[in-house]
Amino acid sequence: MKVWGELQPSHESDQILLQSYLKEANIRQLSFHPEWLKLLHYKHKKNNTYQSQVKGSLFFFSKEGANNPTKELEATLRSFFLKDTIPEGQMHPICSFPARYNFMKRMFGVNFLENNVIRCERFEQWKKSLDVDSVSIVFASYYLMAPASVFGHTMVKFNQKSNSENDSEILDYTVNVAADVPETDPFRYAYHGLLGGYKARFTLFPYYLKVNEYNDLESRDLWEYRLALSEIEIELLVSHLWELSRAEFDYYFLNANCGTFLVEWMDVVKPELGLKSKLGGVVSPVDTIKIYSNSGGLVESRKYRPSLYSEIKLLIQEMEPEEKKIFWKIINDSPNQLLNFTFLEKGGNNLRSHLILDAYTFTYRYQRSKSPNITEIHTNNYKKALEIRSQFPNLIEPILIKDNQTPPELSHPKSRVSLGGGSSNFGNFLEWKYRFAYHDLLNQSKGSPPNSELVFFDGVIRNYEGKRLEFTSFTFVRLVSLSPYNAISKHWSYLLDFGIQTTLIKNRQNVWLGEGSVTNENRWQRKQVPNVDVAVGWTFSDEFSKTKDRWGTISFLLGFKSQFHPQWDFGGRFGPNVQSIYQKELGNWKLLGGIQFQHYWNQKPENHLLSTFGLRYLWNDVTEIRLEMKQEPVYQEVSGSFHYLF
């Protein structure tokens, strides 16, 4: 490619024509044309310099192309004059970069394909196989069981008209952008994901593979947003994808991920919307969905594709008590004994047998995807259930297409500031909080992963009366997943918290003073200490009732806590704990309570009992009011705060 970028045409007429085009490009400053800069993914830097975000030499014709738009435009233009025989396995530069070619064709009014008698058969055949009629952005909901998926994921779906008419959209193709991650441990994965080290690439997959991966295996809901793109814009999008197969990008979790790469791709075909300019310094995939949805007229329609587990929940929620009783008995008995489903045959009862049978067969598929160790008895029962189900028409479609989930673009903003104050047995205080991202258990769950926390860089500053400002706590990362445990989905719940907390340490300066001469406040010092919490357990909820979660959600966790400070013997303290968390959301209100028993092996007092209570009122989608209380052996406080999310 670099050789072709330095091409000097052999025919004099071509030499003259090339020089005239280069001169015109220079006069018109075409190398700084917005479309050219977007096609090469250049980013403007200081001192009027540019740097392409694309890594890899196969994307450039000039040796300086990665940071010189002018050199790359000149080299590209030269390569298009190539008339020599192309080596086997390679393509003419025009066929390799059809989007660049269309740009040159419009700028100079010349058709190199016809003039040079070039045929791009591989590209045309590939484009024909895609047969793109329309384009959708797909959002796969949050999956807290894998670090790479806790923020959700976005893809592009190429819709084919024939598949849409035949109700076979899973046969469409989808474009996925993901980091090329080797097998590695979670710590190196997080390090390279945050600080760099991974490369991202555009890849093309049949949509059914992604539906199977996200919808079925990982139980993630899919949201499809059809975009209002013209035929010309779709043509440009597809052509540029062909070019991007030669590109790779530096990947970062926070600001160079699947969402940002797709926005930049869309920005090539919709420059008037300025999609890329709407990206913030930190961008999650759901932020890009908000950008598409808020760009007037870009999103034509939205489609909800529930996960296999969500389908099961929808079916069970539709059942009457007697139907549920039969369903749960089948679920419990099916793995261990052969069942007789004849009582569910058509006309044999007053039950809605299709609901029970569908919920059972879906549950079998779900459990098989989670564990390959399905008993032969269980499989035989599944086959019998399918035979009985074939007697009924498909009566569940209206249930499964219910859009009763809140779309992700309606989730609350990711950052938060708050102002509050309170009273404690160590004095009154004012409090300021800032959270970089994303969601805690007291935030509204609309559009966010339910029963979960995903918190990064959450800091608290306090001012106790008569004291200096105090940096009370800082959470580097806190992940909490409290997925309900039941006979269908035996999910573990987990908690991971890493940061700095304030704790009370005995004031050694007062150890020789009499008990009567030392106040409770002087006997203890408030110290900020590094803190690590991990816990696992189970969560229980009545998630299958029609009045969803009417009793709330309760979790039981067994964990381990470590804290470090030089004033402690051995430089720190550590030990196991048990805790319970209760949460209940009702309209604009949410209640969150917890109790924890902590035992320290190497410090006294050994046992600590901590209880917390929080009540949130949602003023509107971006403001909250909270009342919180905390009770510890030697410290108690109550506080109120106002929270603004942005």
Q: In terms of domains, do 458 and 587 share one?
A: yes
Q: In terms of domains, do 93 and 240 share one?
A: no
- Residue 485 belongs to some domain of the structure: yes
Environment class of 34 (CB within 10 Å of its CB; exposed 0-12, middle 13-18, buried 19+) = exposed
Which residues is 533 bridged to in the sheet? 497, 561
Chosen domain end from 119, 146, 165: 119
Q: Closest by alpha carbon to 251, among 53, 37, 40? A: 53
Q: In terms of domains, do 295 and 251 share one?
A: yes
Query: Tokens 């709407």 identify what position?
Result: 278
* pLDDT value for 488: 94
Whole-Å CA distances, 88 to 84, 85, 91, 244, 490:
12, 9, 8, 21, 55
Q: In terms of domains, do 234 and 323 share one?
A: no
Phi, psi of 155 (to 5 degrees): -140, 170
Q: How many CB atoms lie within 10 A of CB 73?
A: 26
Q: In terms of domains, do 22 and 33 share one?
A: yes
The reported pTM is: 0.90
- Residue 598 belongs to some domain of the structure: yes
Domain count, the chain: 4
Q: In terms of domains, do 300 and 312 share one?
A: no
* pLDDT value for 604: 83
* pLDDT value for 221: 94
* pLDDT value for 545: 86
- Residue 405 belongs to some domain of the structure: no
Q: In terms of domains, do 372 and 468 share one?
A: no
pLDDT digits (tens, 9 = 90+) for 469-506: 999 999 999 999 999 999 999 889 999 999 999 999 88
Q: In terms of domains, do 376 and 475 share one?
A: no
- Residue 401 belongs to some domain of the structure: no
Q: Which two tokens stand for residue 130?
A: 């895609």
Q: In terms of domains, do 457 and 533 share one?
A: yes
Determine the structural domain holding residue 253 and report its residue range: 132-305
Chosen domain end from 261, 280, 305: 305
Q: In terms of domains, do 503 and 601 share one?
A: yes
Q: In terms of domains, do 437 and 554 share one?
A: yes
Chosen domain end from 68, 90, 119: 119
Instruction: Enumerate residue ranges in the chain where pLDDT < 50.
Output: 510-519
- Residue 4 belongs to some domain of the structure: no
Q: In terms of domains, do 108 and 45 share one?
A: yes
Q: How many CB atoms lie within 10 A of CB 167?
A: 7
- Residue 2 belongs to some domain of the structure: no
End-to-end CA distance of the chain: 47
Q: How many CB atoms lie within 10 A of CB 50?
A: 18
pLDDT digits (tens, 9 = 90+) for 27-50: 999 999 999 999 999 999 988 899
- Residue 472 belongs to some domain of the structure: yes
As a whole number of angstroms, the distance between CA 47 and CA 49 comes to: 6
3-state helix, strand, coil in the chain (%, to 5): 35, 35, 30
CB burial string 182-216: b at 16+ within 10 A, e below: eeeeeeebeebbeeebbebbbeeeebeebbeebbb
